[in-house]
Amino acid sequence: MRLFQCPCHAASFAAYAPADTGGGSRPVPASAGPVDRAVLEELAAASRILADQGVVDAFGHVSMRHPANPNRFLMSRSLAPALVSADDIMEFDLDCEACESKGRSGFLERFIHGEIYKVRADVNSVVHSHSPSIIPFGLTNVPMRAMFHNAAFLAEGAPVFDIREKFGATDMLVGNHAKGAELARVMGDCPIALMRAHGSVASGPSLPIAVFRAVYTEKNALLQLQSTMLAAGGPIAALDSEEGPKADAVNITSASRAWDLWKRRVMN
Ligand SMILES: [Zn+2]
């Protein structure tokens, strides 16, 4: 059992239950309807932003809840994030079944997204990445803390999902419902979860905020590694639990400035 867990871990949350399919082979889920092209462009831009910002490389993915139906979400087909365009976006139900695949394959780890959407009514976007500076905090008992105001959402901590605890020796990937559900359970009500020897998950009430959190979790991890070396065992004056929510409230209202800047860098 990892020593550090988010204090909000045990909070209850509303669930969006997927439709009961009655068992057996599942029918193709019905689409929630067409999505504005501009929305698809935004989601594709988010994928390219995450690549441009160094959060994802050949792997990693971002999703958003369908604007018209909370029981559906949108996500690229399996593709390197920097290459995603609006035409690559697929629609899934919360059991991660494609509504219309058109011969395309979804990401193996799409269960991270579907299982979080099932239990987190407050989450409308999810990012999964293997961004490198975060990895050490999933391997050690050093809790990630908020080093600066842009990462204030980390002031209450980031729980660590260790896939080995429940599933033993695996390929480390969250490739089915059970693993996704366990990750969502460990994440609790936190905005971020770390994944031992794998990566992390960032979430948010909107696409720009989930991307903002993914970017600043990576930056924060690097700053914490630097601060730890500089402190040489001494204290680190990170944001405390009172400062965190106050600073994060500002971040949520101003994330659009970062979004607009980052999007301009990746528009063709
Ligand atoms: Zn992964």
CATH number of the domain that 181 lies in?
A: 3.40.225.10
Q: Taking residues 141-166, what's their average pLDDT?
A: 96
| Parent domain of 111 | 37-266
**Residue 187: pLDDT band by 50, 70, 90 thresholds?**
very high
Q: If you measure from the C-alpha of residue 108 to the centroid of ligand 1, how many angstroms do you get, rounded to a whole number?
A: 9
Q: If you measure from the C-alpha of residue 47 to the centroid of ligand 1, how many angstroms do you get, rounded to a whole number?
A: 15
Per-residue pLDDT, 27 = 84
Residue 268 has pLDDT above 80, yes or no: no
| 168 located within any domain | yes
Q: If you measure from the C-alpha of residue 250 to the centroid of ligand 1, how many angstroms do you get, rounded to a whole number?
A: 30
| 29 located within any domain | no
Q: Taking residues 134-157, what's their average pLDDT?
A: 96
Q: Taking residues 42-50, what's their average pLDDT?
A: 98
Q: If you measure from the C-alpha of residue 268 to the centroid of ligand 1, how many angstroms do you get, rounded to a whole number?
A: 27
Residue 112, strand partner residues: none
| 252 located within any domain | yes
Residue 129 has pLDDT above 70, yes or no: yes
Residue 19 has pLDDT above 70, yes or no: no
Per-residue pLDDT, 120 = 98
| 16 located within any domain | no
| 213 located within any domain | yes
Q: If you measure from the C-alpha of residue 149 to the centroid of ligand 1, how many angstroms do you get, rounded to a whole number?
A: 27
- Dihedral angle computed from the Cα positions of residues 165, 180, 109 and 115, in that order, rounded to the nearest 10 degrees: -170
| 1 located within any domain | no
Question: CB-side exposure of 233: number of CA atoms within 13 Å?
Answer: 0
List the structure tokens of 43: 């989601």
- Cα–Cα distance between 179 and 169 in angstroms, integer? 13
Calculate the average pLDDT of the chain.
91
Q: Taking residues 145-159, what's their average pLDDT?
A: 95
Please say if 41 is a catalytic residue.
no
Contact predicate 194/142, CB 8 Å: no
| 19 located within any domain | no
Q: If you measure from the C-alpha of residue 193 to the centroid of ligand 1, how many angstroms do you get, rounded to a whole number?
A: 12
- Cα–Cα distance between 210 and 156 in angstroms, integer? 17
Per-residue pLDDT, 16 = 41
Q: If you measure from the C-alpha of residue 6 to the centroid of ligand 1, how many angstroms do you get, rounded to a whole number?
A: 21
Catalytic residue from among 91, 109, 156, 218 = 109
Contact predicate 232/163, CB 8 Å: no
Q: If you measure from the C-alpha of residue 9 to the centroid of ligand 1, how many angstroms do you get, rounded to a whole number?
A: 22
Domain tally, the chain: 1
Distance from CA of residue 244 to its chain's centroid?
Answer: 20
Regarding predicted confidence, which is higher, 12 or 78? Answer: 78
SS3 178: helix
| 26 located within any domain | no
Per-residue pLDDT, 5 = 43
**Residue 102: pLDDT band by 50, 70, 90 thresholds?**
confident
